[in-house]
Structure 1
Amino acid sequence: MEVEVKLRLPNSESHQALSSVLSKFLVKTHFQHNIFFDGANSELSAKRAVLRLRFYGEDPQTAERCVLSLKAKAVLVNGVSRVEEDEEEFDPFLGREIWANPNLIGSTKSRLLNRVRQEFKVEEEIGYVCLGGFKNVRGVYDWKGLKLEVDETLFEFGTLYEIECESGEPEKAKEIIEEALKENGIPYSCSKMSKFAIFRSRELPL
């Protein structure tokens, strides 16, 4: 179970303001390309599951790292997200091949893909589809004992700004983050939708 605080920043100005406040705590910046898949008959989404390939690097065609993820049964309430998650490191070359031909999901050797085949029983003659995806620029900060991830997510229809913080004590972490935002006059709100849900809706939430 992945448990995260998720707070939305309203615009690029608030994102820049927070980045400036946290600048001395910056550990790294990730360029992430997220690509999603489903069965042609929506077998995964029908069970509230999401299969994602994430490429790390400015160009996914030359990325040297790729992570395969299966997430399911996500719940997001009052800025705290809880979701079942399974991940594995994945060969970037194979990841790019699957991106080009999603039906390779049905035959590629992988612990996680084998789980997908067993649990969701996508019909081989119908196969899998690529849903598309989006780019994310993530600043990672080591701050007050928390690992903050400040995202600039670029969809075709707009840009989302968000803070994420994985924690075993999410309510406490949320309180610490909110206090800092208020002290620095940075507006925010609790996130109400996952990035994937926003991507599928093709509209930024109000």
Structure 2
Amino acid sequence: MRIVGGERRGLTLRAPAGSTTRPTSDRARQALFDILMHASWGGRELLHDATVLDAFAGTAALGLEALSRGATQAWFMEQNAVARAIMAANIATARFSDRVRVLSCDVLRPPRAAGPVTIAFIDPPYGQDLVPRGVAALQRAGWIGPDTIIVAETGADEPPLTVETPLISRRFGAAMMTIWRPGHASELKTPRAS
């Protein structure tokens, strides 16, 4: 597993052994960031100077990828101690320690945020209906506002997320990525893609 774009492109990241942590594949991350960089609602300015939240962070690959591509700050939420140790090693290897904050917390009970982030990556374990519950908890705590871009990953064999007007929904192997902005449903014209 490696960072696939930006200033740290090619940097190898560690992942814990076993199946407890399931990092987003390099291919899926590349496709996801291509979408974020080139969509009409995205673009380079979306990531430039962005603050990002990597919830259920695991290895921190999504947040580190965003930092490599121009985000200025990343928050990582992870309650598993083994995953946090791997994450700390990846952050140190990427030399982003001064731009990150790791929170040892349950995403369903997050601390209060100073303000909403630009992009929230929600990548929980599959099959536990954690995306809707996590998004609701993060909204209540102020991490997600009406302009936040939410990028959620679920299993491709799970029921689709019930997002009123997604910006895009795409399958990448065993993963389904759904992207939306919670406060702009009436403005979004992009139909759901499959």
TM-score (norm 2): 0.28
Determine which structure has more spread, i.e. the larger CA radius of gyration.
1
Larger relative contact order, structure 1 or 2 (CA cutoff 8 Å, min sep 6): 1
